[in-house]
Protein backbone atom coordinates (compact mmCIF):
# COMPACT_ATOMS: atom_id res chain seq x y z
CA UNK A 1 0.00 0.00 0.00
CA UNK A 2 1.46 3.35 -1.01
CA UNK A 3 1.80 6.10 1.57
CA UNK A 4 0.42 9.45 0.48
CA UNK A 5 3.05 12.13 0.82
CA UNK A 6 1.99 15.74 1.15
CA UNK A 7 4.51 18.44 0.33
CA UNK A 8 3.83 22.02 1.27
CA UNK A 9 5.76 25.21 1.90
CA UNK A 10 4.77 26.89 5.18
CA UNK A 11 6.39 30.14 4.07
CA UNK A 12 4.12 30.31 1.02
CA UNK A 13 1.02 29.36 3.03
CA UNK A 14 1.64 32.06 5.66
CA UNK A 15 2.27 34.59 2.90
CA UNK A 16 -0.95 33.64 1.10
CA UNK A 17 -3.18 33.63 4.20
CA UNK A 18 -1.68 36.31 6.44
CA UNK A 19 0.30 38.41 3.95
CA UNK A 20 3.61 37.67 5.68
CA UNK A 21 6.76 37.24 3.65
CA UNK A 22 9.92 35.80 5.18
CA UNK A 23 13.39 35.43 3.77
CA UNK A 24 14.29 31.77 3.14
CA UNK A 25 17.40 31.71 5.32
CA UNK A 26 18.64 34.47 7.61
CA UNK A 27 21.88 36.24 6.69
CA UNK A 28 22.44 34.31 3.46
CA UNK A 29 22.09 37.20 1.00
CA UNK A 30 25.21 38.99 -0.18
CA UNK A 31 25.38 42.76 -0.70
CA UNK A 32 24.95 42.35 -4.47
CA UNK A 33 21.60 40.59 -3.88
CA UNK A 34 22.71 37.05 -4.78
CA UNK A 35 22.18 34.20 -2.38
CA UNK A 36 25.25 32.78 -0.70
CA UNK A 37 25.85 29.05 -0.76
CA UNK A 38 24.33 27.88 2.54
CA UNK A 39 26.78 25.00 2.68
CA UNK A 40 29.98 27.04 2.75
CA UNK A 41 32.20 26.86 5.83
CA UNK A 42 30.51 26.46 9.19
CA UNK A 43 27.01 26.95 7.80
CA UNK A 44 26.57 23.25 6.98
CA UNK A 45 27.55 22.28 10.53
CA UNK A 46 25.17 24.91 11.95
CA UNK A 47 22.30 23.45 9.92
CA UNK A 48 23.19 19.90 10.97
CA UNK A 49 23.47 20.95 14.63
CA UNK A 50 20.09 22.67 14.55
CA UNK A 51 18.36 19.73 12.85
CA UNK A 52 19.71 17.13 15.30
CA UNK A 53 18.97 19.39 18.24
CA UNK A 54 22.37 20.68 19.29
CA UNK A 55 21.40 24.35 19.08
CA UNK A 56 18.29 26.41 18.44
CA UNK A 57 18.05 28.02 15.04
CA UNK A 58 15.61 29.18 12.41
CA UNK A 59 16.55 25.97 10.56
CA UNK A 60 14.90 23.77 13.20
CA UNK A 61 11.74 23.64 15.24
CA UNK A 62 13.66 24.64 18.34
CA UNK A 63 13.00 28.35 18.11
CA UNK A 64 10.50 29.83 20.59
CA UNK A 65 7.44 29.13 18.43
CA UNK A 66 6.16 26.05 20.26
CA UNK A 67 2.72 26.82 21.69
CA UNK A 68 0.81 24.42 23.96
CA UNK A 69 -2.74 25.37 25.03
CA UNK A 70 -4.33 23.14 27.70
CA UNK A 71 -1.89 20.31 26.89
CA UNK A 72 -2.59 20.50 23.12
CA UNK A 73 0.35 21.59 20.97
CA UNK A 74 -0.46 23.87 18.05
CA UNK A 75 1.20 22.52 14.90
CA UNK A 76 3.35 24.19 12.26
CA UNK A 77 4.98 26.90 14.35
CA UNK A 78 2.20 29.46 14.82
CA UNK A 79 3.03 33.16 14.75
CA UNK A 80 2.44 35.26 17.87
CA UNK A 81 1.76 39.00 18.07
CA UNK A 82 1.80 40.79 21.43
CA UNK A 83 0.53 44.21 22.45
CA UNK A 84 0.41 46.10 25.75
CA UNK A 85 -1.45 49.30 26.57
CA UNK A 86 -1.55 51.51 29.65
CA UNK A 87 -4.63 52.74 31.47
CA UNK A 88 -4.25 56.50 31.23
CA UNK A 89 -6.80 59.05 32.41
CA UNK A 90 -6.76 62.31 30.42
CA UNK A 91 -8.04 65.40 32.24
CA UNK A 92 -8.71 68.73 30.52
CA UNK A 93 -7.58 71.82 32.44
CA UNK A 94 -8.91 75.37 32.17
CA UNK A 95 -6.50 77.74 30.38
CA UNK A 96 -4.05 74.89 29.81
CA UNK A 97 -2.99 73.61 26.43
CA UNK A 98 -3.16 69.85 26.29
CA UNK A 99 -4.28 67.49 29.03
CA UNK A 100 -3.00 66.18 32.33
CA UNK A 101 -2.26 62.48 32.14
CA UNK A 102 -2.55 60.09 35.05
CA UNK A 103 -1.22 56.57 34.66
CA UNK A 104 -3.57 54.07 36.27
CA UNK A 105 -1.56 50.92 35.61
CA UNK A 106 -1.36 48.47 32.74
CA UNK A 107 -4.06 46.71 30.76
CA UNK A 108 -3.84 43.02 29.91
CA UNK A 109 -1.52 41.87 27.14
CA UNK A 110 -3.35 41.35 23.85
CA UNK A 111 -2.22 38.13 22.17
CA UNK A 112 -2.85 37.05 18.58
CA UNK A 113 -1.87 33.53 17.51
CA UNK A 114 -1.97 32.78 13.77
CA UNK A 115 -1.26 29.41 12.24
CA UNK A 116 -2.33 26.68 9.86
CA UNK A 117 -3.59 23.15 10.41
CA UNK A 118 -2.65 20.73 7.64
CA UNK A 119 -4.27 17.35 6.96
CA UNK A 120 -2.28 14.15 6.52
CA UNK A 121 -2.90 14.06 2.77
CA UNK A 122 -4.36 16.32 0.12
CA UNK A 123 -7.81 14.71 0.38
CA UNK A 124 -8.24 14.85 4.16
CA UNK A 125 -9.53 17.89 6.00
CA UNK A 126 -7.85 18.09 9.46
CA UNK A 127 -11.06 17.41 11.44
CA UNK A 128 -9.45 16.05 14.63
CA UNK A 129 -6.95 18.90 14.90
CA UNK A 130 -9.68 21.47 14.22
CA UNK A 131 -11.92 19.90 16.88
CA UNK A 132 -9.05 20.17 19.39
CA UNK A 133 -8.63 23.85 18.53
CA UNK A 134 -12.38 24.41 18.77
CA UNK A 135 -12.51 22.68 22.16
CA UNK A 136 -9.76 24.98 23.46
CA UNK A 137 -11.48 28.12 22.20
CA UNK A 138 -14.97 27.14 23.43
CA UNK A 139 -13.87 26.60 27.02
CA UNK A 140 -15.42 29.04 29.47
CA UNK A 141 -12.38 28.98 31.72
CA UNK A 142 -8.94 30.45 31.20
CA UNK A 143 -6.55 28.44 29.03
CA UNK A 144 -3.13 27.45 30.32
CA UNK A 145 -0.39 28.33 27.85
CA UNK A 146 3.11 26.88 27.65
CA UNK A 147 5.19 28.96 25.28
CA UNK A 148 8.69 30.20 25.97
CA UNK A 149 8.05 33.49 24.18
CA UNK A 150 4.82 34.24 26.08
CA UNK A 151 6.25 33.04 29.39
CA UNK A 152 9.04 35.65 29.09
CA UNK A 153 6.30 38.26 29.58
CA UNK A 154 4.75 36.33 32.51
CA UNK A 155 1.85 35.17 30.36
CA UNK A 156 0.84 31.71 31.60
CA UNK A 157 -2.94 31.91 31.09
CA UNK A 158 -5.08 33.28 28.27
CA UNK A 159 -8.70 34.37 28.10
CA UNK A 160 -9.66 33.59 24.51
CA UNK A 161 -11.96 36.18 22.96
CA UNK A 162 -12.12 35.26 19.28
CA UNK A 163 -11.38 32.41 16.84
CA UNK A 164 -11.35 33.05 13.10
CA UNK A 165 -11.10 30.30 10.46
CA UNK A 166 -10.38 32.03 7.14
CA UNK A 167 -10.75 30.11 3.88
CA UNK A 168 -7.69 28.86 2.00
CA UNK A 169 -8.22 28.56 -1.74
CA UNK A 170 -6.93 25.60 -3.69
CA UNK A 171 -6.20 23.16 -0.86
CA UNK A 172 -8.97 21.51 1.12
CA UNK A 173 -6.51 19.90 3.54
CA UNK A 174 -5.25 23.27 4.87
CA UNK A 175 -7.17 25.31 7.44
CA UNK A 176 -5.72 28.63 8.64
CA UNK A 177 -6.76 29.97 12.05
CA UNK A 178 -6.37 33.12 14.11
CA UNK A 179 -6.90 33.26 17.87
CA UNK A 180 -7.31 36.57 19.70
CA UNK A 181 -6.88 36.49 23.45
CA UNK A 182 -5.85 38.48 26.50
CA UNK A 183 -3.39 37.57 29.23
CA UNK A 184 -5.02 36.45 32.45
CA UNK A 185 -4.10 35.42 35.96
CA UNK A 186 -5.82 33.00 38.27
CA UNK A 187 -7.10 35.09 41.16
CA UNK A 188 -8.79 33.81 44.30
CA UNK A 189 -11.24 36.11 46.03
CA UNK A 190 -11.65 35.65 49.78
CA UNK A 191 -15.00 36.75 51.21
CA UNK A 192 -14.90 37.43 54.93
CA UNK A 193 -18.23 37.41 56.67
CA UNK A 194 -16.95 38.93 59.92
CA UNK A 195 -16.59 42.43 58.44
CA UNK A 196 -19.44 44.83 57.81
CA UNK A 197 -19.58 46.86 54.63
CA UNK A 198 -21.55 50.08 54.34
The reply to whether 71 and 141 lie within a common domain is: yes
86 or 123: which carries more pLDDT confidence? 86
The reply to whether 109 and 162 lie within a common domain is: yes
Q: Lowest mean pLDDT: which of 46-55, 109-118, 176-185?
A: 46-55
pLDDT tens-digit map of 89-125: 989 988 888 888 888 888 999 999 998 888 887 788 8
How many domains does one find in the chain? Answer: 2
d(CA 123, CA 34): 38
68 occurs within a structural domain? yes
- Provide mean pLDDT across the span 126-132: 90
62 or 72: which carries more pLDDT confidence? 72
Q: Lowest mean pLDDT: which of 25-34, 56-65, 130-139, 152-161?
A: 56-65
φ, ψ of residue 81 to 5 degrees: the values are -115, 135
Q: H helices within the chain, ranges in order?
A: 10-18, 43-52, 127-138, 148-152
The reply to whether 129 and 50 lie within a common domain is: no
34: containing domain: 8-63
The reply to whether 84 and 48 lie within a common domain is: no
94 occurs within a structural domain? yes
The reply to whether 91 and 28 lie within a common domain is: no
104 occurs within a structural domain? yes
33 or 144: which carries more pLDDT confidence? 144
pLDDT tens-digit map of 7-29: 666 667 777 777 766 555 454 55
φ, ψ of residue 152 to 5 degrees: the values are -55, -35
pLDDT over 70 (residue 45): no
Closest CA to 175 of 187, 163, 183, 185: 163
Which residues, listed in sequence order, are joined to residue 92 by a DSSP beta bridge? 99
The reply to whether 171 and 85 lie within a common domain is: yes
The reply to whether 21 and 112 lie within a common domain is: no
Closest CA to 117 of 105, 103, 129: 129
Closest CA to 133 of 162, 153, 108: 162
d(CA 73, CA 115): 12
What distances in angstroms separate CA 51 from CA 44, 58, 59, 146, one per listed residue?
Answer: 11, 10, 7, 22
d(CA 16, CA 53): 30
The reply to whether 21 and 94 lie within a common domain is: no
175 occurs within a structural domain? yes
The reply to whether 77 and 125 lie within a common domain is: yes
The reply to whether 155 and 69 lie within a common domain is: yes
87 or 58: which carries more pLDDT confidence? 87
pLDDT on residue 20: 64
The reply to whether 167 and 118 lie within a common domain is: yes
pLDDT on residue 77: 78
Amino acid sequence: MAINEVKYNLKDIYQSVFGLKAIPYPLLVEENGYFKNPFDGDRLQNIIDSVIGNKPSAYSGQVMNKVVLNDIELANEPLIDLGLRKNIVFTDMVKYQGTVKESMGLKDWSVTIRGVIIGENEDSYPIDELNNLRKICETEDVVEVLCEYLNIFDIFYLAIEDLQLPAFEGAKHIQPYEIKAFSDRITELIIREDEEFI
